[in-house]
Structure 1
Amino acid sequence: MKFAVVPRSAPALKPLALACALSVLAADAFAQVAAQAAQDTLPSIVVTGARFPAQAATAPIGATVITAEDIRRSGATDVNAAIRKVGGVYGRQSLDASPDFALDLRGFGSNSAQNVVILVDGVRLNENELTNAVLSSIPVDTVERIEIQRGGSSVLYGEGATGGVINIITRGAGKQGTHGSLFAEAGRFDAHDLRASLTHGAGPLSFDVAVAKRGTDNYRDNSEFRQKTASGGVQYSYGAGRAGLRFERSEQDARFPGSLTEAQFLDNPRDSFTRDDFGTLDTDRIGAFVEHRVGAVELAAELSHREREVEANYFYMSGGAKVASRSRYDASQTQFSPRVRHIATFGDKRNELVAGIDLMRWERQVKSDFSRGDAEQDSKAFYLRNEVLWNAPHNARLAIGGRHERFTKDYSDPLAFPPVVNEHRRQSINAWSLEGSVDVAPQVILFAKAGRSYRIANVDENSLRSGLDVLAPQTSRDLELGVTAGGADRQLSARLFRHRLTNEIFYDPTIGWGANTNLDPTRRQGFEVEGRHAVTQDLRLSAQWQRVDAEFTGGPNAGREMVLVPKNVVTVRAAWTPSGTLSGHSADIGAQWVGSQRYGSDFTNSCGARIPSYTTIDARYAYRVGAWEAAVSGLNLADRQYYSNAFDCRSGIYPSDGRQLKLSLRYDF
């Protein structure tokens, strides 16, 4: 008889208890729709629709928006944490002690970062390698909002958008005059965070600067993390448009605590057996944008360049002596994305036509003890999307779009076995989408999406592949049906989704010593529910629930579960911002329950254990007097000992952080 070992922990909240909040939100939203139809209206916040600014009426269907106030109230100290805590997106513990968790939309496991496109002001942060987007380098005080679009979005955003798109929008033109803030925070594990930001607006010209220095020893041994960031931007607005320039610099040092076996985790989850391993990451980004209107035509473009310098140092014993393995690489990426939008009105109909081009060049030069793998990739894409909006008798939208993208890949590595010399490959792929919505009743919107999305294997996947040729493109047939009910104060959104994948790109540990390959057919399907409810003027509730079934649908593993995919992720938050005599006080508390999942190597579903489910709780209380705000916050308040990353059966475990308490002080001027 086999037993699954459950880590020591505080009592976990039951899944039903967390899910009940969604049921309450659902019942209340539908019950209040008719009564509130006249009072409630959709938020007027401007979001990014079809890669152009759009009002709520033409916002991306099913998008989630996190505002700067949401981020500040939650106490999130970086963009990644805000997406997880406020947006309810599941994040998997990073391997390098950094706060850049792998964000997973719709259950793509260890390759989740390669199936979500992450943008900053429309510029891709994704790299052509097996790394997570470094969101910690974005100063959180510069963020105006974060938009989360779930589901296949390759028509507008290209390869890797099957799970969805996360777009971080930084502040636009500053207010007139000079404004800024100073922030200091300290906490357990020698955590410290110092930030300063300044904005200035004078007529059509505005600029902003922000600097930050943060660090922590983290929960585990040999997991220290230090980071310094600086960013700035200048913008000029004129009658027919605006233009601007922005730069960012980040320097990051991290220790690598390595993995544990299950026995080691149960004995001491803070332990490390790689006490000498460390690395550095330096990133520079610069970008320019322009937007200009000529009558009914809008023109826009971004030009950006990013450079990364990465070093990693690993140590191991050989013949009784400690041996070092070092690697370094320099990578750069340049992107140019011009596009045009034409809007025409015909009676009660509005037509929006968008066309654009995405040009990207990525290069990497490697210097390591085991590789000299230099690589280049060029991509050229053209996309077209047309949307029609009918205002009567029911607001209805219908959009159709297509994209064609070509990739050219060059790779050489004389240290590979066998050596690779001037490998040159070309690939091309198409995507399409059809989506629509209709107001079936006051404040009740039905919507549907269908389409094809895709992903191309990156340089790391192709350098350790199962065959002689480069991996085939991964394609997905996407389908989504949903409903949104309610207004700004009471709203519920529910979506059913399905992704049927062909040639999914994944690391298969059962091939020899392990290799990247194109899997037999796989599928992701399930549902997502999001709700928010203003119980009173002072108390607001929000909740998200994602359930996904990820499994093989063909080949010898047909019917078996995909690895590192929790079936359920439920997030609930409550925000209290009183007025009157209690004005100045505020509190925010959240809980997230993550269901159990298969270990990373368990393709045959034969391991006698699963990664256990867990619940984490975080909270923040703040008090403001004039321009000053003092706050106390806590993460993993129940001090749960858990892990979300484990790559072998009962081993390869990367423990997550224990309880952490922090104190902060902020001054706004």
Structure 2
Amino acid sequence: MKSLPSHRSTAAWKPLALVSALATLSFPAVAQVETGQKLTPVTVSASRFENDPSLAPIGASVITAEQIREAGIGNVNEAIRKIGGVYGRQNLNGTSDFALDLRGFGGTSDNNMVVLVDGVRISENEQTVALMSMIPIESVERIEIVRGGSSVLYGEGATGGTIQIITKRGAADATHGTLFAEVGNRNSKEVRASLSKGWDKFSINANVGAVQTDNYRDRNSLKQENFSGGMQWALDQGRVGMRIDASRQNFDLPGGITWAQFLQNPKQAKDLANFSSIDSTLYTLFGERRIGNWELAADLSYRERQGDYFSPTYQSTYDGRSSQFSPRARHILKAGNVTNEFVVGFDIGRWGRNTTDSAGAADNAKQQSKALYIRDEIRFGKARVAAGVRHEIFDQSSRGGKIYDKKFSLNAWDLQGSYEITPIVSVFAKTGRSYRVANVDDNAYTVGNKLLEPQKSEDVELGVSLGDKSDKVTAKLFRHKLKNEIFYDSNIFNNINLDPTKREGIEIEGKKRLTSDFSLSAVLRHMSAKFSEGPYAGNEMTLVPRNTATVRLSWLPGNGQSADVGVQWIDSQRYSNDFTNACNSRAPSFTTLDARYAKRVGAWEFAITGANLTDKKYFSQAFGKCINDTQLGIYPDPGRSVKLSARMDF
């Protein structure tokens, strides 16, 4: 069951105001790039240390800053959906934080993947999406998408995979900045500003932004303010630094409507006086040090997340805190054409949340976790082989609505390999075990107040890549066999452990340079998600489209003009409560079209961007029941939007 959105608290913004003022008066912003300027790319998720891009995680999809810039993408979530081809469901509060689905987990997709910023986890220990909207798009150097089990390095919830957002670094002795403004229909307005300054060994940066929109539906207006900034010192054998990411959101909640209401007017709201707000602030300290063949690194993060929810009959507030400490070490040994990389690390996490409501009920929930992981990769000739294990101990407790204390431990492992048959043909394989732990919201609503068992998955993936950097296609066959999958059953309004389930399918990613001016990219997925045992054996899982397809065509003639056109098709889906597969109706399939044209004039770029240009009436969220083949709880997606923007780089 989805948790209520979170709260306001202006106190968290006081230190940010000071940092922002100092930054803008002196020399701000996250390391930016002038048009055409190239930064040396790095990867971090393969071993949680930086590596050459050629040693990115096996089977990973990489979205570069250049691709984001060419497509005119305005936020991180949009880049993952439109360029990475990841299916996303509309956020119920109208922000850009769509619930992304890497491997067909339907209504629990956001709890079956891990989102990280520079290695720091921002996924929540609640039934809420990770707030990627707090990460300014101008700060992103690359995004790595790893589909499939990744619990060895990143722990619980990584069965569907990981999304790693890697930010830019300041250039030495350079100053860069960006000013951006955009207006559109439905009273949409957005402004962003970024500035970075680098000296010989020190850099400082800051980004600020604000969004205001009425959104597509009635009673769904949104106001959001973001701040991101940091500083970094380069050492002879390492670096140290700090970073702050903050977001404040205020939004109205229109609620779900029926199928009949959707056909009549998809813009209408069910709830006319429901609203909420979320304040989220993430503080991060990081450091790295090289000593001979050893590299030492550590991240220390602290996050505050406050929220409130209001309706005429119910009010709720909560105050959440989480911290993470992740020290790790890597040893690299080279002998001839053989390289061995050994990594060992610890993840220590603490999370807590206090909630109160208008009925006088209060709840205090906590979770602590301690994990040890070891990973070793050997590279010889044209082959790579990696193996890893993780042991994690959990301590969960709750006081209030449900009282419990529970301690348990889980293990994960994986084995991966790749081989380059020729310079343009390579094959890879991955197998392992991943897991997900029931969070505080999962355990809050269960049958008979029974606590949920951990979810475990046996994961297998086989793949092949053909081509080079400009013309390449990658195909993957995958399978996830799950036991005790954690799922919300809207038939009984409770979270449950399902009978064994299975997801298997094929993913194809390709890109092709058609001419010097035109390039084409596509991401296709065919998925079978079914119960494998129990009374529903053979039945399809809910809210999982069997097929998805994303195709993009880019035009870059090199004369200051650019254009980008994208089409996404999503197959029909079973409604959220249809475990019996008895409902004759489904959430209909839909196709959306978006496009952008831009013209550069000196330091300025002017663009027109359109989304859902055919004004398709569709929905991707439907949590209610299917009664007499009529669906309840539909949350319509936006109709056509058109926006005009101006951007200056300096």
Task: Using structure 1 for the length normalisation, give the TM-score.
Answer: 0.89
* 2:97 is the counterpart of 1:100: yes
Separation of aligned partners in 1, 2:202 and 2:307:
36
Match of 1:401 among 366, 388, 403: 388
Deviation at 1:467, TM superposition (A): 4.1
Bigger mean CA deviation after superposition, 459-468 or 219-228: 459-468
How many residues matched? 605
Give the partner amino acid of 2:517: D
% identical equivalent positions: 51
Give the partner amino acid of 1:596: S
Separation of aligned partners in 2, 1:469 and 1:407:
18
Deviation at 1:439, TM superposition (A): 1.1
Does the C-alpha gap of structure 1 residues 214 and 175 become closer, same or farther in structure 2, counting only changes over 3 Å?
Answer: farther
Separation of aligned partners in 1, 2:408 and 2:451:
10
Separation of aligned partners in 2, 1:536 and 1:312:
53
Instruction: Give runs of aligned pairs for residues 215-364 of structure 1, distance below 5 A.
Output: 215-315=212-312, 324-364=313-353
| Alignment-derived partner of residue 53 in structure 2 | 56
Contact 1:144 1:169 in 2 (8 A): yes
Separation of aligned partners in 2, 1:524 and 1:161:
15
Instruction: Give runs of aligned pairs for residues 403-442 of structure 1, distance below 5 A.
Output: 403-413=390-400, 416=401, 420-421=402-403, 423-442=404-423
Deviation at 1:285, TM superposition (A): 1.0
Contact 1:44 1:55 in 2 (8 A): no
Separation of aligned partners in 1, 2:43 and 2:615:
37
| Alignment-derived partner of residue 562 in structure 1 | 541
Separation of aligned partners in 2, 1:99 and 1:626:
31
Bigger mean CA deviation after superposition, 436-445 or 353-362: 436-445
Match of 2:379 among 370, 386, 389: 389
Match of 1:373 among 341, 363, 387: 363
Separation of aligned partners in 2, 1:654 and 1:174:
44
Separation of aligned partners in 2, 1:611 and 1:342:
51
Separation of aligned partners in 1, 2:645 and 2:248:
23
Give the partner amino acid of 2:566: G
Separation of aligned partners in 2, 1:255 and 1:600:
24
Contact 1:643 1:653 in 2 (8 A): yes
Separation of aligned partners in 2, 1:56 and 1:195:
29
Does the C-alpha gap of structure 1 residues 443 and 146 become closer, same or farther in structure 2, counting only changes over 3 Å?
Answer: same
| Alignment-derived partner of residue 545 in structure 1 | 524
Separation of aligned partners in 1, 2:509 and 2:42:
20
Which consecutive unaligned segments of at least 5 residues does structure 2 have?
1-38
Separation of aligned partners in 1, 2:550 and 2:523:
5
Match of 2:42 among 24, 39, 46: 46
Deviation at 1:123, TM superposition (A): 0.7
Give the partner amino acid of 2:375: R
Contact 1:481 1:495 in 2 (8 A): yes
Separation of aligned partners in 1, 2:608 and 2:575:
36
CA offsets, 1:164-208, max 9 Å, x none? 000111111335222101100000101111010000001100011
Does the C-alpha gap of structure 1 residues 54 and 596 become closer, same or farther in structure 2, counting only changes over 3 Å?
Answer: same
Instruction: Give runs of aligned pairs for residues 10-25 of structure 1, distance below 5 A.
Output: none
Give the partner amino acid of 2:538: G
Deviation at 1:46, TM superposition (A): 2.5
Deviation at 1:75, TM superposition (A): 2.2
Bigger mean CA deviation after superposition, 370-379 or 192-201: 370-379
Give the partner amino acid of 1:562: M
CA offsets, 1:527-572, max 9 Å, x none? 1000011112221111101111100001000000000000111000
Separation of aligned partners in 2, 1:79 and 1:361:
27
Separation of aligned partners in 2, 1:586 and 1:363:
48
Contact 1:385 1:399 in 2 (8 A): yes
* 2:596 is the counterpart of 1:601: no
Contact 1:44 1:56 in 2 (8 A): no
SS at match of 1:47: coil
Match of 1:477 among 448, 458, 463: 458
| Alignment-derived partner of residue 452 in structure 1 | 433
Deviation at 1:212, TM superposition (A): 0.4
Contact 2:41 2:141 in 1 (8 A): no
Contact 1:224 1:255 in 2 (8 A): yes
SS at match of 1:148: strand
Contact 1:307 1:331 in 2 (8 A): yes
Separation of aligned partners in 2, 1:165 and 1:644:
22
Contact 2:125 2:440 in 1 (8 A): yes
Give the partner amino acid of 2:447: S
Match of 1:621 among 571, 579, 597: 597
Separation of aligned partners in 2, 1:465 and 1:426:
18
Deviation at 1:346, TM superposition (A): 2.2
| Alignment-derived partner of residue 6 in structure 1 | none
| Alignment-derived partner of residue 573 in structure 1 | 552
* 2:587 is the counterpart of 1:611: yes
Deviation at 1:441, TM superposition (A): 2.1
Which consecutive unaligned segments of at least 5 residues does structure 1 have?
1-42, 316-323
* 2:460 is the counterpart of 1:490: no
Separation of aligned partners in 2, 1:271 and 1:284:
33
Bigger mean CA deviation after superposition, 198-207 or 642-651: 642-651
CA offsets, 1:129-164, max 9 Å, x none? 100011111111111111101110000110000000
Contact 1:97 1:257 in 2 (8 A): no
Give the partner amino acid of 1:268: N
SS at match of 2:262: helix
Contact 2:227 2:247 in 1 (8 A): yes
Give the partner amino acid of 1:589: V
Match of 1:531 among 491, 510, 519: 510
Separation of aligned partners in 2, 1:255 and 1:631:
29
Separation of aligned partners in 2, 1:600 and 1:313:
26
CA offsets, 1:93-131, max 9 Å, x none? 111122211000010000000001000111111111100
Separation of aligned partners in 2, 1:573 and 1:53:
30
Contact 2:172 2:201 in 1 (8 A): no
Task: Using structure 2 for the length normalisation, give the TM-score.
Answer: 0.92
SS at match of 1:53: coil
* 2:138 is the counterpart of 1:151: no
CA offsets, 1:466-514, max 9 Å, x none? 244421110000000000111111111000000000000011234xx32
Separation of aligned partners in 1, 2:352 and 2:583:
40
Deviation at 1:72, TM superposition (A): 2.1
Deviation at 1:221, TM superposition (A): 0.2
Deviation at 1:293, TM superposition (A): 0.7
